[in-house]
């Protein structure tokens, strides 16, 4: 789809540092058009693959039962150059206002933490103290998103890119659809890096066990997805793994990747390999650990205690 032909919506602006954004009208519906940013690291890419990541990962969230923004891939002509862009349906309206979690965190006046702090204990305290969404519902949502972010390798799920919707007519709050997934799937991987990862198991393992790290911190350090999830120390995280992993169908996800336009077969192979490795070595591995521990506990409870 060529988005250049659609009318821009004046006076509508979007926050965020991950690429330029404009608003366009597609058949009466507002969409935010995201442009790929330039790489922040030395690479052979002229711009990152963040728009591809945005498209694929939002679809994955929806496939797993977590509401995410509607996304479409297309092109936009800028000064005679055609760029691949991602159109994201605007989930706000005249009657609906969006508040990011950072803003909500700043309203908790009896908390000593600021809105931008991403320590997991701070986040969980805010979830318990906020009065907009049932705390248990929001806790489950937070951990479900964390688990899916582990699958897609998201290194930038900070407090400014998830939040709530407020309906000005009903006065009701709801959890906003997931958005801003451009920092997943190693968007700055150029052809040379892709080949290294595909050809070297150590390179692939590094992208599973070592990084990307979560933007969420624990004890002053960014969380290592594998270490945190597989430790089984966080009961809420364990329960999220038990909820999410049975929903994951890697065949469906691979078919989604294979059907994604504008990327080469090598890129499709790379994304499929990356997702499969993280699924098997982080999520499914942790899920099996939980099942084994539950089985051991069940056997211990059923084993009669001998008395002398």
The whole-angstrom separation of Cα 86 and Cα 190 is 19
- Domain end, chosen from 59, 89, 119, is at 89
Give 155's DSSP letter. Answer: S
The reply to whether 127 and 223 lie within a common domain is yes
The reply to whether 137 and 279 lie within a common domain is yes
Confidence at residue 48, expressed as pLDDT on a 0 to 100 scale? 78
> What does the buried/exposed string (b/e) look like for 208-244 if buried means 16 or more CB atoms within 10 Å of the residue's CB?
bbeebbbbbbbeeeebbbbebbbeeebebbbbbbeeb
The reply to whether 123 and 264 lie within a common domain is yes
The reply to whether 63 and 18 lie within a common domain is yes
Give the range of the structural domain holding residue 27, as residue numbers without chain letter: 9-89
What is the distance, to the nearest Å, from the Cα of residue 277 to the centroid of all Cα atoms in its chain?
Answer: 17
The whole-angstrom separation of Cα 113 and Cα 217 is 14
- Domain end, chosen from 31, 57, 89, is at 89
Q: Are strands 81-89 and 71-78 parallel, antiparallel or unpaired?
A: antiparallel
The reply to whether 80 and 168 lie within a common domain is no
Confidence at residue 305, expressed as pLDDT on a 0 to 100 scale? 59
The reply to whether 82 and 102 lie within a common domain is no
- Domain end, chosen from 89, 108, 127, is at 89
Please report, for the domain that includes residue 101, its CATH number.
1.10.1070.20
Q: Are strands 221-222 and 217-218 parallel, antiparallel or unpaired?
A: antiparallel
Confidence at residue 239, expressed as pLDDT on a 0 to 100 scale? 97
Confidence at residue 109, expressed as pLDDT on a 0 to 100 scale? 55
The reply to whether 68 and 113 lie within a common domain is no
C-alpha triplet 156, 180, 206: angle, nearest 5°: 40
Confidence at residue 209, expressed as pLDDT on a 0 to 100 scale? 97
DSSP bridge pairs for 99:
164
DSSP bridge pairs for 164:
99, 175
The whole-angstrom separation of Cα 111 and Cα 101 is 14
DSSP bridge pairs for 74:
85
The reply to whether 293 and 186 lie within a common domain is yes
| pLDDT tens digits for range 189-217 | 999 999 999 999 999 999 999 999 999 99
Confidence at residue 254, expressed as pLDDT on a 0 to 100 scale? 97
Confidence at residue 226, expressed as pLDDT on a 0 to 100 scale? 98
Cβ-proximal residues to 21 (8 Å cutoff; 6+ apart), any chain: 13, 14, 32, 33, 34, 35
Run means of pLDDT, 10 residues per run, the chain, 308 residues: 93 66 93 84 67 97 97 93 94 90 81 76 92 95 98 94 94 95 93 95 97 95 98 97 98 98 96 98 98 83 62
The reply to whether 145 and 276 lie within a common domain is yes
The reply to whether 144 and 222 lie within a common domain is yes
| pLDDT tens digits for range 37-87 | 876 666 655 467 899 999 999 999 999 999 999 999 999 998 888 999 999
Cβ-proximal residues to 47 (8 Å cutoff; 6+ apart), any chain: 36, 37, 38, 39, 83
């Amino acid at each position: 789809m060529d988005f250049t032909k659609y009318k821009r919506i004046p006076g509508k602006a979007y926050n965020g540092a991950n690429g330029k954004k404009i608003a366009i009208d597609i058949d009466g519906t507002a969409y935010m058009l995201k442009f790929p940013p330039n790489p922040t690291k030395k690479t052979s890419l002229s711009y990152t693959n963040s728009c591809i990541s945005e498209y694929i990962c939002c679809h994955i969230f929806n496939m797993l039962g977590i509401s995410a923004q509607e996304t479409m891939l297309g092109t936009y002509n800028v000064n005679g150059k055609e760029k691949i862009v991602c159109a994201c349906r605007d989930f706000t309206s005249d009657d609906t206002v969006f508040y990011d979690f950072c803003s909500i965190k700043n309203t908790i006046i009896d908390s000593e933490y600021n809105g931008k702090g991403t320590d997991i204990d701070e986040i969980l305290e805010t979830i318990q103290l906020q009065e907009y969404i049932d705390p248990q519902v929001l806790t489950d949502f937070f951990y479900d998103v964390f688990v899916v972010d582990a699958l897609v390798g998201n290194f930038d799920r900070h407090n400014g890119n998830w939040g709530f919707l407020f309906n000005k007519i009903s006065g009701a709050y709801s959890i906003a659809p997931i958005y801003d997934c451009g920092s997943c799937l190693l968007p700055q991987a150029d052809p040379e890096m892709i080949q290294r990862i595909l050809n070297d198991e150590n390179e692939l393992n590094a992208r599973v066990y070592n990084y990307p790290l979560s933007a969420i911190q624990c004890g002053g350090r960014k969380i290592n997805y594998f270490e945190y999830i597989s430790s089984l120390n966080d009961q809420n995280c364990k329960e999220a793994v038990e909820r999410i992993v049975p929903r994951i169908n890697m065949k469906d996800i691979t078919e989604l990747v294979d059907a994604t336009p504008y990327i080469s077969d090598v890129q499709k192979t790379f994304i499929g390999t990356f997702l499969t490795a993280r699924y098997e070595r982080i999520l499914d591995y942790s899920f099996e650990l939980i099942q084994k521990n539950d089985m051991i506990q069940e056997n211990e409870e059923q084993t009669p205690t001998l008395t002398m």
